[in-house]
């Protein structure tokens, strides 16, 4: 390398080294200042107050903490809305047929990834139902086995919607559900798995009509004549679609909601109370 170039290169590298030293010094001062509030490397590199997209004052988990649940609630009830990678892959014919009928009943649903939380808490081919026939919304979207989703979609279309039209001269706008899939035992049963843990049950808290009426199981007004007659409709009609329909008046655990399930009883016994 010619002398001139070598000198030039030396000068250039010297300049880079000096700048690098300055930067390292500045970084050391900055890191030293931040070290008072934190001792993790990622915290040093990430400002504590996020000035970007996240404007929440709640601190976001960093590094491995992101993998841990945010709260005990999240730990007990994991996010279940992960769409299935390839719906229909290796799905039994009965499940495929169920989906065909579910679509025919006018339901809007999404296939979810298999759920298996151990014990009886399991749905091999779950669906998430967000809408039923007649543009009736399901809020929040319900995670169910396809058989249960189909039973509920059929009952809504053939029993609930006509009953509401007959008694209230109105269509149904929204069904507010309180529990669909849920890994738990029957309250007070001493450890018997709930049909909710198989995705075979749904709890209805409130039915909102298009004319503004609100059939709220939890409100005292529920026992007005018209509401009571709809309630009777809900029960008797429901028994053709479900094997269990429990509502207010059955026991304290069902004072504020209707419980529907398709529990498979060997003797074909149907519980409608």
Rounded CA separation 191/260 (Å): 20
Residue (147 or 203) nearer to Zn ion, CB: 203
| Residue whose CB is less far from Zn ion, 111 or 203 | 203
CB of 169 within 8 A of CB of 211? yes
Find the shortest distance in angstroms from Cβ 201 to Zn ion: 5
Run of H or E including 204? strand 201-209
Distance CA 43, CA 63 (A): 9
CB 144 within 8 A of CB 152: yes
Which residue lies nearer to Zn ion by CB, 109 or 181?
A: 181
Residue 186 C-beta: closest distance to Zn ion, Å: 9
Nearest distance from C-beta of residue 185 to Zn ion, angstroms = 12
Give, as ranges, the residues between 182 and 241 that touch Zn ion (CB under 5 A).
201, 203
> How near is the Cβ of 200 to Zn ion at its closest, in Å?
10
Q: For residues 95 and 201, which CB has a smaller minimum distance to Zn ion in the complex?
A: 201
Three-state DSSP at 191 gives: coil
- Closest approach, Cβ 205 to Zn ion, in A, equals 11
Residue ranges in 29-68 that form contacts with Zn ion under rule CB under 5 A: none
Q: How many residues bind Zn ion (CB under 5 A)?
A: 3
Binding mask 235-264 for Zn ion (x = CB under 5 A): ------------------------x-----
Closest to Zn ion by CB, 201 vs 245, is 201
Bridge partner residues of 272 (DSSP)? 245
Three-state SS at 8: helix
Please check whether residue 249 is in contact with residue 231, taking contact to mean a CB–CB distance below 8 angstroms: no
Q: Judge contact between 41 and 63, C-beta under 8 A.
A: no
Q: Closest distance between Zn ion and the C-beta of residue 38, in Å?
A: 46
SS3 call for 18: helix
Residue (168 or 260) nearer to Zn ion, CB: 260
Comparing every residue's Cβ against Zn ion, the nearest one is 259
Nearest one of 151, 220, 211 to 180, comparing CA atoms: 151
| Residues binding Zn ion (CB under 5 A) | 201, 203, 259
């Amino acid at each position: 390398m010619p002398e001139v170039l070598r000198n030039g290169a030396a000068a250039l590298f010297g300049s880079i080294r000096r700048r690098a030293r300055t930067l390292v010094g500045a970084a050391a001062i900055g890191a030293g200042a931040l070290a008072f509030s934190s001792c993790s490397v990622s915290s040093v590199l990430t400002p504590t107050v996020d000035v970007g997209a996240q404007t929440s004052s709640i601190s976001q988990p960093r590094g491995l903490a992101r993998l841990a649940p945010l709260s005990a609630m999240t730990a007990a009830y994991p996010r279940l809305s992960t769409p299935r990678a390839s719906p229909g892959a290796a799905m039994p014919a009965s499940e495929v047929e169920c989906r065909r009928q579910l679509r025919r009943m006018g339901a809007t649903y999404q296939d979810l990834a298999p759920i298996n939380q151990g014990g009886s808490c399991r749905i091999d081919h779950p669906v998430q139902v967000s809408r039923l026939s007649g543009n009736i919304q399901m809020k929040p979207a319900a995670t169910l086995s396809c058989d249960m989703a189909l039973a509920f979609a059929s009952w809504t279309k053939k029993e609930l919607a006509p009953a509401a039209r007959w008694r209230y001269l109105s269509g149904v706008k929204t069904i507010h559900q309180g529990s669909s899939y849920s890994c738990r035992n029957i309250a007070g049963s001493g450890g018997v798995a709930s049909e909710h843990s198989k995705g075979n049950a749904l709890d209805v808290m409130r039915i909102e009509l298009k004319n503004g009426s609100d059939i709220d199981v939890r409100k005292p007004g529920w026992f007005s004549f018209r509401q009571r007659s709809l309630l009777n409709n809900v029960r008797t009609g429901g028994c053709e679609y479900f094997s269990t329909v429990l509502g207010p008046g059955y026991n304290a655990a069902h004072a504020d909601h209707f419980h529907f399930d398709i529990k498979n009883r060997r003797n074909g016994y149907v519980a409608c109370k």
